[in-house]
Amino acid sequence: MKTAQKMRLACCIMIGIGLFPGAASAQQYPTGPVQIVLGFPPGGSTDILARLVAQKLQAEWGRPVVVVNKPGDSTIIATETVTRSTPDGHTLLVGASSAMTINPVLYDKLPYHPRDLMPITIMGSFPLVLAVQPSMPQKSLNELIASAKTAKPSLNYSSASTLFQLAAEMMKQMASIDVTHIPYKGSVQAMTALTSGDVQMLFLDPAPVIAQIKAGKARGLAVTSAKRWSLMPDLPTMAESGLPDYDVTSWIGLFAPAGTPQAVVDKIQHDVSRIVASPDIRERLETLGIDAGGKALGIADADNTPAQLAKVISDEGVRFAQVIKTAHIKAE
């Protein structure tokens, strides 16, 4: 037998018995318990989504899949934990957009870099909602902008996270208006400030806003996604309402430590994408004000790949960096 033939035969045998690392990883994964780490406390929408997916994966993989909550420090603790873990797919991160596109710009020093993580897939996405106090006469974004240009003192808004602040600052920069930022510790406090009349407007994730709109304690003016949102189809987008190219869409992504075998990443992406696209998970997420996968970003299920998530991170990072720089936003 010629040397070249012997080499080809040896390669075939190695693949067959799993001696090539990538092949072995794909076939055998997972070989033990899998941890899904997230930087939020139990009970929130991100936590519920992570647990729904973990439960399905455990049933499918036949291995324990547990959610580990490491809240605090703007999700930095959870993110660093995963970047320092063994890159074998047994420790994963459920990360919101802030960890990958805001923190790297906002903080002068971080214990991680976005390249320390491998994008896998987008698990959920949703726009923010611009809402105002119902006693205000403005019924549209254009009317709100016109009022903000003449208001003395200036109108104000509450926010509970840097993302919500960025959404407002982007509006301010694009509309050339001045609106005063009043920070609050959480979404409940920010919404209470609106319903009690302490502030005139806010940007917030949909779930708490929808409840207050239905109760007549807030008025929705627009959603921040590029296209109208299926769960609130009557609300126009910010772009439709006079701010072309305005787009702020929050997403929840799944990541693995850099160096994880690509075959393992591909398997996780395939399984998780299929799970979040299933009818029962979609229905449950809708009750939380979340679109399954990248729907709110305009990403079809078939396109919800690691490469697509990497592109979202890159595009969003550039856009947010400019807003942060112009608004002189600093980490608190």
Contact criterion met (CB below 8 Å) for 293 and 301: yes
pLDDT surpasses 60 at 6: no
Do 311 and 319 contact (CB within 8 A), yes or no? no
Percentage above 90 pLDDT, the chain: 85
- Which CATH architecture is the domain 129-223 placed in? 3-Layer(aba) Sandwich (3.40)
| CATH 3.40.190.150 residue ranges for the chain | 33-126+249-327
Q: What angle do CA 188, 190, 72 make, to 5 degrees?
A: 70
Name the band, by pLDDT with cuts 50, 70 and 90, for residue 26.
Answer: low
Alpha helices in 39-182 (DSSP H): 45-61, 76-83, 97, 103-106, 141-150, 162-175
Distances (CA, A) of 61 to 44, 185, 276: 25, 39, 16
Which residues touch 92 (CB under 8 Å, ≥6 apart)? 34, 35, 36, 37, 82, 120, 254, 255, 256, 268
pTM of the full structure = 0.88
Which residues make up the CATH 3.40.190.10 domain(s) of the chain? 129-223
Q: Is 111 helix (H, G, I), strand (E, B) or coil?
A: coil
229 pLDDT above the threshold of 50: yes
Query: Residue 203 is inside which H or E element, if any?
Result: strand 201-204
Q: What is the per-residue pLDDT across 74-133, written as a single tens digit (0 to 9) for each?
A: 899 999 999 999 999 999 999 988 889 999 999 989 999 999 999 999 999 999 999 999
DSSP annotation of 199: -
Q: What is the CATH number of domain 33-126+249-327?
A: 3.40.190.150
Percent of the chain with pLDDT over 70: 92
**CA-angle at 213, arms to 209 and 215, nearest 5°:** 120
Looking up tokens 């502030």, which residue turns up?
199
User: What is the reported pLDDT for 8?
Assistant: 44
| Neighbouring C-beta atoms of residue 200, cutoff 10 Å | 23
CA dihedral sign, ordered 326, 241, 288, 132: positive
What are 131's strand-pairing partners?
A: 202, 220
CA gap 295, 97 in Å, rounded: 15
Rounded CA gap, 93 and 30, in Å?
16
End-to-end CA gap in the chain = 70
Whether the per-residue pLDDT at 317 is higher than 80: the answer is yes
